[in-house]
């Protein structure tokens, strides 16, 4: 259940309308790392977090996820209000009037999102600064709380980066004040997701994700190997932390592989069945089905490719 409070979380005001900046600010609403993205991401992560009734660690995280998701709804509300204020007084006539005079002014005015006039009638939209509709595919909710927490840290980093850029792009003191609040919250949110990871034991406890898949089932030779795929004789990457010493998950030691070797064979795919029409005129085609009485199992890849090239003779009749 959700309640709505009429007051905004933080004051929103603008010095003066600015329809072009209204368009730019849309990035923080409906962009890939905007408030709608973190709101949706945290809501679904919180709703989907299983096992929280039996595990105090998860219970706290679930509660925190939903607290912060709800906070993010309020951030969307603040930004939508701000966009509406920035659009105050914008009109098609205003653009036309400006066009008669100063072409630069016209250029600036025509930089507004026409949907702010035509579609929303001076209102914010769930879109980014280029007008792309918000896409729920931007969000991450995996069911693995650690993978999700790391995703949340990144979401707050990207969001804060974009908010800081938008702060630099305006001199409007009202807008800057609102952004300075959101940027501060993004600082806290980066910290709180990392604090949650720390509370779960930090990288040595939670990594690698998923921590439940056993090392014994991996090709362990490469589990902690940094492989240098560069031909550069002075590969700087060899000097990195990732090439030497204890691994970050604390379960192994990094090694450095200077010369990667190809362990596999050259890939050879059988020709496609004729009904897919991949073949050139007169070229090989695959069989529609395996030849009657012959099992495809137990044949080598080469045998199967040779059979496929031979193609037609082996095709079943009728
Ligand atoms: Fe936010």
Mind listing the pLDDT tens digit for each residue in 172-216? Answer: 999 999 999 999 999 999 999 999 999 999 999 999 999 999 999
Question: Does 302 share its domain with 227?
Answer: no
Q: Is 230 annotated as a binding residue?
A: yes
Mind listing the pLDDT tens digit for each residue in 122-147? Answer: 999 999 999 999 999 999 999 999 99
CA of 75 to the centre of ligand 1 (A): 5
State the average pLDDT for the chain: 89
Which secondary-structure segment (H or E) carries 227? Answer: strand 225-227
Q: Is 71 annotated as a binding residue?
A: no
Mind listing the pLDDT tens digit for each residue in 258-275? Answer: 999 999 999 999 999 999
Question: Does 156 share its domain with 251?
Answer: no
User: What is the rounded CA–CA span in Å between residue 289 and residue 164?
Assistant: 60
Closest CA to 116 of 160, 82, 157, 159: 82
Residue 223: give the domain boundaries. Answer: 215-257
Question: Does 240 share its domain with 124?
Answer: no
Question: At which of 206, 230, 247 does a domain end?
Answer: 206
CA of 256 to the centre of ligand 1 (A): 41
Domain count, the chain: 3
Question: Does 107 share its domain with 245?
Answer: no
- Is residue 233 very low, low, confident or very high in pLDDT (cuts 50, 70, 90)? confident
Question: Does 189 share its domain with 300?
Answer: no
Q: Can you give the three-state secondary structure of 128-168, one letter per residue?
A: CCCCCECCHHHCCCCCCHHHHHHHHHHHHHHHHHHHHHHHH
CA of 185 to the centre of ligand 1 (A): 6
Is the pLDDT confidence value at 55 over 70? yes
Question: Does 249 share its domain with 185?
Answer: no
Question: Does 129 share its domain with 78?
Answer: yes
Q: Is 116 annotated as a binding residue?
A: no
Question: Does 194 share its domain with 287?
Answer: no
Question: Does 25 share its domain with 171?
Answer: yes
Kindly report which listed range (31-45, 106-120, 203-217, 241-255) carries the lowest average pLDDT score.
Answer: 106-120
Question: What tokens were used for 42?
Answer: 């945290």
Residue 241 lies in a domain: yes
Question: Does 137 share its domain with 282?
Answer: no
Q: Please, which residues have CB less than 5 A from ligand 1, an ion?
A: 35, 72, 75
CA-based torsion, 50, 54, 55, 61: positive or negative: positive
CATH of the domain at 28: 1.20.1260.10
Average pLDDT over residues 62-91: 95
Residue 8 lies in a domain: no
Residue 72 lies in a domain: yes
Question: Does 27 share its domain with 167?
Answer: yes
Q: Is 59 helix (H, G, I), strand (E, B) or coil?
A: helix
Q: Is 314 annotated as a binding residue?
A: no
Question: Does 73 share its domain with 106?
Answer: yes
pLDDT at 240: 96
Within 10 angstroms of residue 15's Cβ, the number of other Cβ atoms is 13
Residue 263 lies in a domain: no
Inter-CA distances, 147 with 59, 161, 201, Å? 17, 21, 14
- Is residue 242 very low, low, confident or very high in pLDDT (cuts 50, 70, 90)? very high
Q: Is 63 annotated as a binding residue?
A: yes
Q: Is 115 annotated as a binding residue?
A: no
């Amino acid at each position: 259940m959700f309640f709505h409070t009429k007051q905004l979380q933080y004051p929103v005001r603008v010095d003066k309308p600015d329809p072009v900046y209204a368009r730019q600010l849309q990035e923080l609403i409906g962009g890939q790392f905007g408030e709608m993205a973190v709101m949706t991401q945290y809501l679904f992560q919180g709703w989907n977090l299983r096992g929280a009734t039996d595990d105090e660690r998860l219970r706290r995280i679930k509660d925190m996820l939903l607290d912060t998701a709800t906070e993010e709804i309020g951030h969307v509300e603040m930004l939508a209000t701000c966009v509406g204020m920035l659009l105050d007084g914008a009109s098609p006539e205003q653009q036309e009037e400006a066009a008669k005079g100063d072409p630069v002014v016209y250029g600036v005015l025509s930089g507004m999102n026409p949907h702010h006039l035509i579609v929303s009638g001076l209102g914010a939209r769930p879109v980014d600064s280029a007008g792309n509709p918000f896409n729920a595919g931007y969000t991450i909710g995996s069911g693995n709380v650690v993978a999700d927490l790391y995703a949340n840290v990144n979401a707050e980093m990207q969001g804060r980066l974009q908010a800081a850029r938008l702060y630099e792009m305006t001199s409007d003191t009202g807008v800057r004040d609102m952004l300075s609040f959101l940027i501060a919250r993004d600082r806290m949110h980066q910290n709180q997701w990392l604090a949650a990871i720390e509370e779960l034991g930090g990288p040595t406890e939670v990594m690698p994700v998923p921590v439940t898949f056993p090392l014994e089932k991996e090709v362990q030779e490469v589990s902690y190997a940094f492989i240098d795929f560069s031909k550069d004789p002075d590969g700087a990457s060899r000097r990195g932390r990732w090439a030497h010493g204890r691994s970050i998950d604390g379960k192994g030691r990094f090694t450095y592989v200077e010369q990667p070797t190809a362990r596999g064979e050259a890939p050879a795919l059988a020709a496609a069945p004729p009904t897919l029409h991949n073949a050139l005129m007169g070229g090989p085609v695959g069989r529609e089905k395996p030849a009657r009485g012959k099992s495809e199992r137990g044949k080598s890849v080469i045998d199967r490719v040779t059979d496929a090239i031979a193609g037609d003779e082996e095709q079943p009749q009728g």
